[in-house]
Amino acid sequence: MASNASERPRIGITTYLEPIIWGVWHRDAALLPRVYLDSVVAAGGVPVLLPPVGTDASILDLLDGLIIAGGCDVDPASYAAEPHPETVDTRPGRDEHEAILIRAALDADLPLLAICRGLQMLNVTLGGTLQQHLPDAVAHDEHRPSPAIFGRTEVKIEPDTKVGSIFGEQTTVHCYHHQALDRVADGLRVTARAGDGTVEAAEVDGSDFAVGVQWHPEENPEDLRLIAALVAEGKKRSTRR
């Protein structure tokens, strides 16, 4: 028998604030690609959108899990760096919003999944830095092969990790990014890398489930194991609430 909606864990997902056009309107709006929503629903959760305005970390008290979504470049000022020429279209307000939510989620041990930019925000929030233009370091564009085209990346996973328990020793993932982790923050353990050394996953020491991945699990509807793992952790939390 299917679960009632009230029994399904509520998973918050951060959103973009962007100028968009719909119908006759051209305005700023909070938005999120539908694949995030569909993935959470397919994994058994209820998605709750968290716009980057009116930030109040107490909203997490109502949630069973949190996804920090992908998106634009992280503002290098947030890790005391000068912008690279390829670092464009930053959203400092969103950075601040997500940093507040990340800190609050970690303090509350709320199940957390940080996706692509989300992993970068997790690292920066904990004191790490970013490689602002990955091709400078790896001499190829395979992590973002062309506009709006996802790359396919083989990642090797460390044993005895959350990601390893889900995927085993390696997996192939969908990726789309030109930035990546550089100096890894204290308390953040690298748990997967691409063949070129790029950090592809990291986990927060001491947390029950605080995982960041550089890839986009929501873009592969045939393999929702990672999002399902977050929802399962949220389910455990919801039964204790």
Active site residues: 116, 216, 218
Q: What DSSP letter does each residue of 56-102 carry, written as one string?
A: -GGGGGG-SEEEE---SPPPGGGGT-PPPTT--S--HHHHHHHHHHH
Rounded to whole angstroms, the Cα distance separating 131 from 213 reads 15
- By the 10 Å C-beta count (0-12 exposed, 13-18 middle, 19+ buried), 154 is classed as exposed
Q: Can you say whether the dihedral through the CA atoms of 204, 56, 124, 114 is positive or negative?
A: positive
Separation of alpha carbons 17 and 31, rounded Å: 6
**End-to-end Cα spacing for the chain:** 23
Provide the token pair at 209.
Answer: 């489930």
Q: What does the alpha-carbon distance between residue 188 and residue 118 come to, in Å, rounded to a whole number?
A: 14
Which two three-digit tokens encode residue 28? 């700023």
Query: CB of 163 within 8 A of CB of 230?
Result: no
Provide, for the chain, the percentages of residues in helix, strand and coil under a 3-state DSSP scheme, each rounded to the nearest 5: 30, 30, 40
Q: Which two tokens stand for residue 134?
A: 């990955």
